[in-house]
Amino acid sequence: MSAKRTGEGTTWQLQDAKARLSEVVQNALEGRPPQVISRRGRDEVVVLRRSDYESALHPKETLVVRADPWR
């Protein structure tokens, strides 16, 4: 098995991720869903592009303005 695709991303077994690291990285750089690497049957690592990582570290605040804030 090389990779298992789900709605939450692609899961790679560690040995396959090592052998196909360029593909794992390229998928992340193209903004595809997170690339998850599993070891011994457990999801252990997530590969994503740096901008996505930065966004997760520093989420932007959202300001909601209502016409009448007292309602």
What confidence score (pLDDT) does residue 3 get? 80
The residue ranking higher by pLDDT, 6 or 40, is 40
pLDDT tier for residue 9 given thresholds of 50, 70 and 90: confident
33-66 tens-digit pLDDT: 889 999 999 999 999 999 999 998 988 877 667 7
- Contact at 8 Å (CB) between 3 and 16? yes
For the chain, domains (ranges, CATH) are: 3-57 (3.40.1620.10)
Instruction: Report d(CA 42, CA 51) in Å as an integer.
Output: 26
DSSP state of 49: -
Residue with tokens 């457990």: 42
